[in-house]
């Protein structure tokens, strides 16, 4: 079964700062721009799902 997936990962130092990014104008415009190529929630934020960690290499 072929699937088109966009994959990204990020490590953050502060969840509060990470969440604050969502309210910026540039982030809102980027989300809207990307709705043609990825699934979006009603607020245009990307649909996401947690991934199961299989292994970790430090």
Contact 21, 27 (CB under 8 A): yes
Neighbours of 28 (CB within 10 A): 14
pTM of the model: 0.70
Domain around 36: 13-46
Q: Is residue 56 situated within a structural domain? A: no
Per-position pLDDT tens, the chain of length 58: 777 777 788 888 999 999 999 999 999 999 999 999 889 999 999 998 888 889 989 8
Q: Is residue 37 situated within a structural domain? A: yes
Map residue 45 onto helix, strand or coil: coil
Q: Is residue 5 situated within a structural domain? A: no
Q: In the chain, how many domains are there?
A: 1
């Amino acid at each position: 079964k072929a699937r088109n997936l966009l994959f990204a990962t990020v490590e953050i130092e502060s969840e509060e700062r990470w969440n604050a990014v969502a309210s910026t104008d540039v982030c809102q415009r980027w989300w809207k721009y990307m709705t043609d190529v990825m699934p979006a929630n009603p607020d245009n934020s990307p649909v996401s799902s947690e991934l199961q960690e299989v292994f970790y290499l430090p």
